Structure 1
Amino acid sequence: MDDQQWYERILRSIDDPSLGLPGFPSVYQQEVFVGKSNEVALAEAFTFYKIVKSGSYPLRRSSRVLDFGVGWGRIIRFFLNDVDPGNLHGVDVDDAILDVASSTGVPGNLAQIGPNAPLAYADGYFDVVYAFSVFSHLSEASATFWLAELMRVLKPGGTLVMTTTTDHFLELCEACSYKESGRNQYEEDYARMFADPAAARRRYAAGEHVYAPVAGNADVLEASNYGWAAMPPAFVQRQIGGLAQSVAFVDDPSLLPQGFFTVRKNASFAQRVGRKLRSLASA
């Protein structure tokens, strides 16, 4: 079915388990992991799903897709409309949320990974890899490791799509730090996020990775690896630009609350020759 029909069907599945689609954890569990629940959480997931599809070659049932940071499975379920469940893979560092995902029938091959440990996949295994709100939390060392690792498991010509916070988030932190009274709890947290929010913005503008160690809910989310991060385009270009045919960046809060990168890995020699032959044949 087309994307809109599929989206409406998934929305109905919130209250209708007879549709045979994955279920949902409690509202509390949903919001702990993504800050949203049910219809609002799915609306954001659907937007990102369409971004991933639009940046990739047409998906087939045989395409292999990796959800890096699968959580409770709000995004991976959308790919059931395009890809055979056996070709869907989801990994996360939190074994507790993977248990939740499995118990609610989230599709695909779900596996726990270490904070900075190689993935158990061969080089060039996936056609598409995506990561929603993962690099927005990784330290510079972790981001550097995972950018290289995700490019390793991506096929030549494959697509990596990932989100990150941007200067919009750093600007919010700076604005909260200037507010002297009447701050709510969120504003208090943002105000204290960076010792010098203005300096953090300057580093981001200069193309530096910006990170505030916070730690997370799961035992594996230690402050050395996990906090709040903003990953500018120049940083990504330095890390994996040499492996990529293209690195595109969009920062549009009206579309998604985070910016997102769409990276196309360099094609293999055989792929380049094939494209050239097809171009000549159509000329």
Structure 2
Amino acid sequence: MDRLDVYKSLASHSNNKESFFLQLRSLPIDVIGDLMLNIPENFPEVRSLLPTMAPDQIQKNWNGSSGYDLLLQSCAFMRTLECGINRYSGRSLDNTKVLDFGCGWGRLLRLLYKFTAPENIYGCDPWDKSLEICRESGITANLALSDYLPETLPFPGVTFDFIYSYSVFTHLSERAALAAVTACRKHIADDGLLVITVRPRSYWEVHPSSQNDKVVKSVMLSDHDTKGFAFTPHGEGSPATVNGEITYGDTSITLAYITENWHEWEVVGTEHFLQDQYQRLVFLKPKLR
């Protein structure tokens, strides 16, 4: 990859936003990711159209790493997502309407520029700080604040081809998880897919106490085996508290639990990627009403 050639090719389209993002979609996803970290000041027209990255400390605090280490994981997830969507729906991500459910500071939103136009990209999060960082970074997408226990999504009248949710259901309480998939069902196309990540049983064996010292590993392993859903909430004072109930913590979910309890969805496949081995992708097809 010759970065200078990439910068020049994008700069030549910078006088027209639609043309610029069309040119951007012609690039490999890793090149697009690299662009987010390396846009020199002598290409101000390119810098003005692309978002900046969140500060390293925010990346580390929210995701455990930053810079290229985190970018490699993000790009690997998006490739796995793309592959799975093609395999389990027979469709492509290209030119589709996509929602990042629980978008955080937008690390994956910006990689969607590889697949579709900004007006087709949506992101929601229940924490207003997340959306504030997205906007400060200059992310071009449709952003909205969601609820911790949503009854619907904050995009009235919008139907999505695909919804993905990375490292969200790995933290939701049982009630919050059911509310989330129920809300998503109201906004998914009949031939669409909801893609979530869940933690496997083995996660509890390596759970760091520094992340949530309330976790009792033996209890979580037992709950995973007997109930199919294991959850330990984070401490008091969490912003994800609704009527005294903490809806956010650490979670593992089995496929059998999903099949038995999420009645509007059918599990059609799973994927893994080694860059984050405790995030299992689950592909869910909406059941027709």
TM-score range, shorter chain: 0.7 to 0.9
- Aligned equivalent of 2:259, options 217, 237, 241: 237
1:151, distance to aligned residue in structure 2 (A): 2.2
Q: CA 1:71 to 1:233, structure 2 compared with 1: closer, same or farther past 3 Å? A: same
Tell me the SS of whatever aligns to 2:162.
strand
- Aligned equivalent of 2:280, options 249, 252, 259: 259
Q: CA 1:119 to 1:144, structure 2 compared with 1: closer, same or farther past 3 Å? A: same
1:22, distance to aligned residue in structure 2 (A): 1.5
The reply on whether 1:132 has 2:166 as its aligned counterpart is yes
Tell me the SS of whatever aligns to 2:228.
coil
Give the 5 Å matches for 1:50-89.
Answer: 50-56=79-85, 57-61=91-95, 63-89=96-122
Q: CA 1:189 to 1:23, structure 2 compared with 1: closer, same or farther past 3 Å? A: closer
Give the 5 Å matches for 1:1-283.
Answer: 5-16=28-39, 18=43, 19=46, 20-56=49-85, 57-61=91-95, 63-117=96-150, 118-122=152-156, 125-173=159-207, 186-187=208-209, 192-195=213-216, 197-215=217-235, 219-220=239-240, 224-240=246-262, 242-244=264-266, 246-250=267-271, 253=274, 256-266=277-287
Q: Distance in 2 between matches of 1:233 and 1:123?
A: 30
Q: CA 1:81 to 1:253, structure 2 compared with 1: closer, same or farther past 3 Å? A: closer
Q: Distance in 2 between matches of 1:159 and 1:262?
A: 7
Q: CA 1:125 to 1:229, structure 2 compared with 1: closer, same or farther past 3 Å? A: same
Identity of aligned residues (%): 21
1:218, distance to aligned residue in structure 2 (A): 6.5
Tell me the SS of whatever aligns to 2:33.
helix
> Which amino acid in the other structure matches residue 16 of structure 1?
I
Q: Distance in 2 between matches of 1:203 and 1:83?
A: 40
Q: Distance in 2 between matches of 1:124 and 1:50?
A: 25
CA contact (8 A) 1:216 1:226 kept: no
Q: Distance in 2 between matches of 1:216 and 1:4?
A: 45
1:93, distance to aligned residue in structure 2 (A): 1.0
Tell me the SS of whatever aligns to 1:53.
helix
Q: Distance in 2 between matches of 1:115 and 1:253?
A: 30
Equivalenced residue count is 252
> Which amino acid in the other structure matches residue 234 of structure 1?
A
Q: Distance in 2 between matches of 1:99 and 1:114?
A: 16
CA contact (8 A) 1:88 1:109 kept: yes
Q: Distance in 2 between matches of 1:140 and 1:212?
A: 10
Q: CA 1:88 to 1:94, structure 2 compared with 1: closer, same or farther past 3 Å? A: same
Tell me the SS of whatever aligns to 1:247.
strand
Unpaired runs of at least 5, structure 2: 1-23, 86-90
1:87, distance to aligned residue in structure 2 (A): 1.0
Q: Distance in 1 between matches of 2:271 and 2:225?
A: 15
Unpaired runs of at least 5, structure 1: 174-185, 269-283
CA contact (8 A) 2:236 2:246 kept: no
Tell me the SS of whatever aligns to 2:172.
coil
Q: Distance in 2 between matches of 1:216 and 1:64?
A: 37
> Which amino acid in the other structure matches residue 230 of structure 2?
V
Q: Distance in 2 between matches of 1:224 and 1:68?
A: 19
1:207, distance to aligned residue in structure 2 (A): 4.5
